[in-house]
Structure 1
Amino acid sequence: MGAVDIFGTKSNVAVYRVRLQVLDKIVGGVPSSESVIKGWLKSRMEVGDRDLQELTQKTLLERFPDRQPTADELADALLESDAAPSINGFKRIPETGELAYEGRCMKAALKEWANSAYPGTDWDGKTAADTTVGRPLPKGFRKGLMATISERAFVVETFIGLGVKEPTGVEERIKHVMTPQGPRSSINRVEFVQSPLLEFELKVHDDFLKPEAWGRIWERGEDIGIGSDRGRSDGKFELLAFDRQ
């Protein structure tokens, strides 16, 4: 039961099927659970990660002075340390466990690209007199495209699958931040998935944008990318399809 069933009406809604191919890697930005971090710690200890040696030795002396702990015990102890690492990653589709890019993040990305492509209040086709792309916008409509997309374009999927259940890997990256004490650097650990194919549906009320505007938006999106660490050029993609259903 929904609004259409209750009122017996239906607005002009276009549905587009979108397919895009990430060219290199997409980086996760969601803080990982303790189980993910624990697994990463154990794997790094097994290969003798030099960055963990000092913390490991300190933890062994403080927590296990009289015996050698198991890998699980040591990983648990490291997690409780103030210097415990953090890892940003991906959410999972509850039913399948597949890693996913969130639909809300794709919606935010569309708004970002639209604002980059059309930063003012006008865009290609906005003042057109014809109605071939749906109900025309009201005369004097002064909202910018980013705000208009926020109200009229919606990603159907809550989670957009990345096609894998485990990340391709975890990278350590230097992060530079400005603090009250001045510039500081820290190590940021991130999960990434290599070159996934994403497919999702986009609902557009009143189908108010012409192909010229969509083309400019997606062209800008291909250069800006999706996911975290876009400033490093991660998440760039090629649009494979934008088909009206």
Structure 2
Amino acid sequence: MGATDIFGVQSSVARYRVRLQVLDKIVGGVPSSESVIKGWLKTRMELGDRDLQELTQKTLAERFPDRQPTADELADALLESDAAPSINGFKRIPDTGELAYEGRCMKAAIKEWANSAYPGTDWDGKTAHDTEVGRPLPKGFRKGLMATISERAFVPEVYIGLGVKEPTGVEERIKHVMTPQGPRSSINRVEYVERPLIEFEVKVHDDFLTTEAWGRIWERGEDIGIGADRGRSDGKFELLAWERI
């Protein structure tokens, strides 16, 4: 039951199927659960990670002075430490465990690309007639394209699957931040997935944008990318399909 069933009317809505290929890697930006961090800690300890040795030795001396703990016990103890690492990663689809990029993040990305492609209040087809797009915008419409897309274009999927249940890997990256004490550097750990093929829908009320406008938006999107760490050129992609359903 929805608005269409209650009121017996339906507005003009276009649906587009999108398929894109990430060219290198997409990086997660969501703080990971303890289980993910624990698994990473156990793996790094098995590999003899030098960055963890000092913390590990300190934890062993304080928590397990009389015996050798299991890997699980040691990882749990490390998690409780003030120096415990953090990892930014991906959400997982509840029923399947598949890693996912969120639909709300994809919509935010489309808005970002639209603002980059058309930063003012005009864009291709803004004053077009019904024969060119689904319906013209009202005369005197002064909003920019980013604000208009926010109200008229939607990504229905809550989660957009990345096709895998585990990340390709975890990278350590130097993060530079400005603090009241001056510039500081820290290590940022991020999950990434290499070259996922991503499919989702875009739902557009009144189908108000021309093909030229969408083309410019997606061209800008290919260069800006999706996911976290886009400033490092992660998340760039090639648009493979834009098909009206």
TM-score (norm: length of structure 1):
0.99
Report the AA paired with residue 60 of structure 1: L
Matched, 1:217 2:195: no
Which blocks of at least 5 consecutive residues in structure 1 are unaligned?
none
Tell me the distance in 1 between the aligned counterparts of 2:96 and 2:108.
Answer: 25
Report the AA paired with residue 115 of structure 2: N
Contact 2:87 2:190 in 1 (8 A): yes
Give the match for residue 9 of structure 2. Answer: 9
How far residue 134 of structure 1 moved from its aligned partner, in angstroms, is 1.2
How far residue 130 of structure 1 moved from its aligned partner, in angstroms, is 4.4
Which blocks of at least 5 consecutive residues in structure 2 are unaligned?
none
| Superposition map of 1:16-55 within 5 A | 16-55=16-55
Give the match for residue 186 of structure 1. Answer: 186
| Superposition map of 1:188-207 within 5 A | 188-207=188-207
Residues 61-109 of structure 1, C-alpha deviations (whole Å, 9 max, x = no match): 1111111111111101100000000000000111111000000000000
Alignment RMSD, CA only?
0.7
Report the AA paired with residue 37 of structure 1: I
Tell me the distance in 2 between the aligned counterparts of 1:131 and 1:180.
Answer: 57
Contact 2:26 2:226 in 1 (8 A): yes
Give the match for residue 105 of structure 2. Answer: 105
| Superposition map of 1:48-63 within 5 A | 48-63=48-63
Which aligned segments of 4 or more residues in structure 1 are displaced greater than 4 angstroms? none
Report the AA paired with residue 145 of structure 2: L
How far residue 127 of structure 1 moved from its aligned partner, in angstroms, is 1.7
Contact 2:11 2:205 in 1 (8 A): yes
Tell me the distance in 2 between the aligned counterparts of 1:178 and 1:139.
Answer: 46
Give the match for residue 84 of structure 1. Answer: 84
Give the match for residue 242 of structure 1. Answer: 242
Tell me the distance in 2 between the aligned counterparts of 1:203 and 1:194.
Answer: 27
User: Aligned to 1:175, what secondary structure does the other structure show?
Assistant: strand
Give the match for residue 119 of structure 2. Answer: 119
Report the AA paired with residue 228 of structure 1: A
How far residue 118 of structure 1 moved from its aligned partner, in angstroms, is 0.3
The percentage of aligned residue pairs carrying the same residue is 89
Give the match for residue 161 of structure 1. Answer: 161
How far residue 131 of structure 1 moved from its aligned partner, in angstroms, is 3.7
Report the AA paired with residue 159 of structure 2: F
Tell me the distance in 1 between the aligned counterparts of 2:42 and 2:129.
Answer: 64
Tell me the distance in 1 between the aligned counterparts of 2:46 and 2:212.
Answer: 54
Report the AA paired with residue 132 of structure 2: T
TM-score (norm: length of structure 2):
0.99
Matched residues, number: 245
